[in-house]
């Protein structure tokens, strides 16, 4: 039998180490994280404000963009402030309830991000490949149903993670070698078998790569349509836009895949590399999305410029 002070159902708190092996440069790492956070806040709040106040932007594509901006605000705010506390003030302790809340918020936001990116790719596919049917397919009713489905699917796959963690007894070790709380990082601290957690994690994660497959199919069809455009200028413009979107998706999905595989199979991967890449998909996309999807979208760019310099319009 385990000694009672060696195992407890739920510890009062955990210690987040930040980026193991790079403790000496934590203070410097914090500055780019702060810059990215400020860009994410300013960019996504601006997009939400512009879409809310500009009636001409009350269209399907911009509704999806607003969903993405709202998700990005949640993801960056759930992670970066705590990271900065660790990097600059050594605020490593996080109470059990806050850790579970952070885990849930991060997985909810990444799940929402994945499915919203998929829906946005389908939206672009319909707009480019079937433009005459666009307004008939994506009606207000369809948008509302899609919004409900996006939220429902994410809740269905992410909510069980809370109960899978709460059922586990935890050992005396309370140290998480990471910058934030996430499902497998917490599960590995348990004294019990985490086989169910691993299997469910595989199932939940595979759903994200169904999204990626749909995104890939949509952009392949878009590219086929682009290469049938009559002028090279139109082709280059469309390719530039598609290329930017693909870069955003790679910045989100590739680090997520690397982190997921490292948790299960990459025992020889240096911890600092794992943690840095795991930070990429929760830190970088929220700052890049408003630039790629917002600033490069003509209607939003013109509205922002009109706000900044109303005399020119």
Summarize pLDDT for 160-180 with one digit per residue, the tens: 999 999 999 998 889 999 999
213-260 confidence digits (pLDDT tens)? 999 999 889 888 888 877 787 777 777 777 777 878 888 888 888 887
State which H helix or E strand residue 3 sits in. none
Alpha-carbon span 301 to 251, nearest angstrom = 23
Q: E strands of the chain, at which residues?
A: 7-8, 13-16, 93-95, 170-171, 175-176
Torsion of CA 196, 201, 203, 206, to 10 degrees: -160
Alpha-carbon span 264 to 202, nearest angstrom = 10
Q: Are strands 170-171 and 93-95 parallel, antiparallel or unpaired?
A: unpaired
Question: Which residues lie below 8 Å from residue 267, measured CB to CB, with a gap of 6+?
Answer: none
CA atoms within 13 A on the CB side of 298: 2
Instruction: From 131, 112, 106, 9, select the one nearest 66 (Cα to Cα).
Output: 112
Residue 4 has pLDDT above 60, yes or no: no
- Are 182 and 136 a contacting pair, CB within 8 Å? no
pLDDT of residue 309: 76
């Amino acid at each position: 039998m385990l000694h009672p002070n060696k195992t407890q159902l739920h510890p009062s708190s955990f210690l987040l180490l930040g980026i193991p092996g790079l403790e000496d440069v934590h203070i410097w790492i914090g500055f780019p994280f702060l810059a990215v956070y400020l860009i994410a806040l300013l960019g996504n709040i601006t997009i939400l404000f512009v879409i809310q106040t500009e009636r001409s932007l009350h269209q399907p594509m911009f509704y999806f963009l607003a969903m993405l901006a709202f998700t990005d605000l949640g993801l960056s705010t759930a992670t970066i402030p705590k990271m900065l506390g660790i990097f600059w003030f050594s605020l490593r302790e996080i109470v059990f309830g806050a850790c579970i809340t952070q885990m849930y918020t991060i997985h909810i936001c990444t799940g929402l991000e994945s499915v919203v990116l998929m829906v946005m790719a389908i939206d672009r596919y319909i707009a480019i490949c079937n433009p005459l049917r666009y307004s008939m397919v994506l009606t207000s009713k369809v948008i509302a149903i899609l919004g409900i489905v996006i939220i429902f699917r994410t809740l269905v796959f992410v909510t069980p993670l809370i109960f899978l963690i709460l059922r586990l007894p935890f050992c005396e070790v309370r140290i998480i070698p990471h910058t934030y709380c996430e499902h497998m990082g917490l599960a590995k601290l348990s004294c019990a078998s985490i086989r169910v957690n691993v299997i469910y994690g595989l199932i939940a994660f595979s759903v994200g790569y169904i999204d990626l497959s749909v995104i890939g199919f949509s952009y392949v069809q878009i590219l086929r349509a682009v290469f049938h455009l009559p002028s090279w200028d139109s082709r280059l413009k469309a390719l530039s836009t598609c290329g930017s979107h693909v870069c955003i998706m790679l910045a989100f999905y590739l680090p997520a895949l690397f982190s997921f595989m490292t948790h299960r199979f990459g025992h020889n991967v240096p911890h600092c590399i794992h943690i840095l890449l795991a930070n990429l998909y929760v830190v970088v996309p929220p700052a890049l999305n408003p630039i790629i999807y917002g600033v490069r979208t003509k209607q939003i760019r013109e509205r922002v410029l009109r706000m900044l310099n109303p005399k020119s319009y």
